Amino acid sequence: MKTISIDTDFSPFPAGRYRNDGPNSGERFRDDLLAPALRMEETQVLLDGAVGFGSSFLEEAFGGLVRVARFTHSDLASRLKLVTKDPHLRTEILRYIEEARAQS
Amino acid sequence: MRIEFDQTEQVISCGTILLMAELDRLRRLGVAKRLSGKRPKAIVVRQVFDQVGLSELLRIRPKKWAADDLPESVKHWRFRSGTLTEGQQFAEPLGGFSSRIPQFGRLYAGVVEAMANTKAHAYPDPATNPADTARWWMFWQVRDQVFSVSIIDLGIGIPKSLSQSKRWGRDALEQVVLSLSRAEPVAARILAAIQIGRTRTELPHRGKGLADVVDVIRASPGARLTIASDRGLVRVESEDAPVTRDYSTCLEGTLIQWMLPLRSEAEL
């Protein structure tokens, strides 16, 4: 299993939706780290090292897995593991994935 | 033009950041060359001017104060400005102090979404405007055990941004505004933008940022959020119903201010 620690492998300051929004955007996280890892193997994402997450970052990073990177809901259910002590954060991410599925 | 501050005895963060933003915009447009200021006589006001960079914008030579010379009410004033959504601009300088700010992760989310909104919604079409005009300015400070952070843009304002939404047709929009009819008309549009979570961006997966702006207040007892945009003002405190007000004068942009009581040493 691949492990991505958001603070050490990406940034402790995730923010923004698109690459041109800023250096630590959801699009960059998804396209450079998360989607390539998920295409190779099961991946766990350690979320708790980040300072916080805006909804733009989360929606683009995780909802974008379905909307842009074309993962199916079942792909993600079997390959993506979210590791956090914050149950609200997990729920929010799963909601973005579900909303992207419903809109696709 | 010379602005005289020698009689100024007190400065308030919201007014100061608006002044700084306007001066900075003039400077960036190259039309502030004839602008200067007169130094405040009150030491604390002068320290604030020097600390946040207002002195430099007014061509007043700042004094280099020793940290011990600065009172607590001045020491933590910080100023940042940018055009990108960069959370580190806010969180990094705070360092370990952020542990004293309740729900800091949620506050961070609100601040970065406010930065993001600047680019996505606040200004006219960026394709027809220089990128550097889509700018935000930010202050934060600690005073009387309260942490406050203010972020401002000089864009079209939330009410106008909402009016330009094509996805939310006029009928639907008016229904939302009517449902908030106890609110003042312009402030009601700010409330509507919070409720429908969408302004000029038409994509269905976008426009959730204003919820992040409000969430930290709902989760923090004693916290307060103020959103001033165009002629309207909305204030939210914990679980209370929002307070709204319309003014006769227009703030040319949007100002968001969060105020959160600090956690005591014993709570850490």
Residue B122: alpha-carbon gap to chain centroid? 13
Please, how many CA atoms are within 13 Å of residue A44, restricted to the half-sphere of its CB?
Answer: 6
Residue B199 pLDDT class (50, 70, 90 cuts)? very low
User: Average per-residue pLDDT in chain A?
Assistant: 96
Residue A56 in contact with partner chain B when CB distance is under 8 A? yes
Q: Return the pLDDT at B198.
A: 45
Q: Return the pLDDT at B131.
A: 47
Residue B14 pLDDT class (50, 70, 90 cuts)? confident
Complex prediction ipTM: 0.95
CB atoms within 10 A of CB A31: 17
Distance of alpha carbon A72 from alpha carbon B76, whole angstroms: 48
Residue B264 pLDDT class (50, 70, 90 cuts)? confident
Q: Return the pLDDT at B169.
A: 54
CB contact under 8 A, A54 and B212: yes
Distance of alpha carbon B154 from alpha carbon B152, whole angstroms: 7
Residue A26 in contact with partner chain B when CB distance is under 8 A? no
To which residue do tokens 């005073």 refer? B143
Q: How many interface pairs between A and B have CB atoms less than 8 angstroms apart? A: 91
Residue A57 in contact with partner chain B when CB distance is under 8 A? yes
DSSP 3-state helix, strand, coil percentages of chain B (rounded to 5)?
45, 20, 35
